[in-house]
Amino acid sequence: MTNVKPETRNLKANIKAGFSLIETVVASFLATIFIVVLVSLEGTIRSSQDSLNLNTQSYNEASISVQAITRELRNARPAVTGAYPLELTDDNEIIFYANIDDDPLPERVRYYVTGDQLNRGIVQPEGSPPSYDLNTEGVNLVIPYIANGANPIFTYYNGDWPADVVNNPLPAPTRLTDTKLVKVRVVINPEPERPESAYELVSSAQIRNLKTNL
What is the band of 194 on the pLDDT scale with cuts at 50, 70, 90?
A: confident
pLDDT > 60? residue 5: no
Residue 86: strand pairing partners: 96
pLDDT digits (tens, 9 = 90+) for 129-141: 999 999 999 999 9
pLDDT digits (tens, 9 = 90+) for 165-185: 999 999 999 999 999 999 999
pLDDT > 60? residue 7: no
Other beta carbons within 10 Å of 54: 14
pLDDT > 70? residue 67: yes
pLDDT digits (tens, 9 = 90+) for 10-62: 555 555 555 576 777 777 777 778 777 767 766 666 766 666 677 888 899 99
Question: Does residue 169 have a cis bond before it (omega within 30 degrees)?
Answer: yes
SS3 of residue 76 by DSSP: strand
Dihedral angle, C-alpha 97, 98, 103, 108, nearest 10 °: -30
Dump strand ranges (E) for the chain. Answer: 86-89, 93-98, 107-114, 117-123, 125-126, 131-132, 138-143, 154-157, 181-188, 199-206
- Stretch 89-110: mean pLDDT: 95
What pLDDT, on a 0 to 100 scale, did the predictor assign at position 36?
Answer: 74
Is 155:182 a contact under the CB 8 Å cutoff?
A: yes
Mean of all residue pLDDT scores within the chain: 87
pLDDT digits (tens, 9 = 90+) for 145-171: 999 999 999 999 999 999 999 999 999
